Amino acid sequence: MKERMRIMVGLFFTMLKIGLFTFGGGYAMIALLENELVQKKAWMDKDSFLDMVAISESTPGSIAVNAATYIGYRMAGVGGSVAATVGVCLPSFVIIYALSLFLDAFLAVPYVAYAFRGIQVCVIYLILSAGIKMLKGIRKTPFSIVILSAVFLCMLTLSLLAVSFSTVLYIVICGVLGISLYLLQTIRGKGERGS
């Protein structure tokens, strides 16, 4: 029991450190996690680390939370997963909460506001380049190309027409289409999946 407590405290502080030093979200964190957990602490071997990355990428939510929960559970059960998740989220919570208290006053300074108008343009560029990077990484099959272009065109058209259509629906419909295609191929007995 004492030993488990010690592991939980260790997990909490390791994850706190990772949460504090990860800039730019998920993928930047994977390298840091690998270095800390596999190389330095040897808490996981390379294979289970890669398993964890695959799970994080395929489950909803931020990769940091997925990774912390998984590692925490493997090391010290449910208590460990809570300790690791709280640890990884705490730094950004504290920093952003503190910032939120005086950001409005900060942005009211005219020069800061000018700088932020430039930064807003930069963020659009960052989102666009993240999208392009993901576009390059995705497997191109007739099915994925149809989904990609259909969703993109629908979203743009509906937004220009000011018709609201929830993002959640797009995701659910595309997931169901994926399953339907799979079922169709299984019924036809082709054996190949158009993934």
Partner 1 sequence: MIYWQLFLTFFEIGAVSFGGGYGMISLIRERTLAMGWLSEGELLNLIAISESTPGPIAVNMATFVGSGQAGFLGAVVATLGVVLPAFLVTLLIATLIRNLLKYAGVQAFLCGVRPCIVALIMGTAATMLLSSLLGIKTVESAFAPDIRGIAIFVLLAAGAMGYKRLRRRAISPLLLILVSGVLGLLLYGVGA
User: Please, which of residues 100-129 interact with partner 1 by CB under 8 A?
Assistant: 100-101, 103, 107, 110-111, 114-129
Handedness of CA 146, 123, 26, 172 (dihedral sign): negative
CA distance 78 to 84: 10
**Which parts of 128-157 interact with partner 1 (CB under 8 A)?**
128-132, 134-135, 138, 143-145, 147-152, 155-156
CA distance 140 to 133: 14
CB 89 within 8 A of CB 65: yes
| Binding of partner 1 by 59 (CB under 8 A) | yes
**Which parts of 65-84 interact with partner 1 (CB under 8 A)?**
65-66, 69-70, 73-74, 78, 81
Give the DSSP per-residue string, 140-153: --HHHHHHHHHHHH
CB of 92 to partner 1, least distance (A): 2
**Which parts of 26-45 interact with partner 1 (CB under 8 A)?**
26-27
CB of 120 to partner 1, least distance (A): 4
Among 19, 44, 49, 87, binds partner 1 (CB under 8 A): 19
CA distance 9 to 32: 19
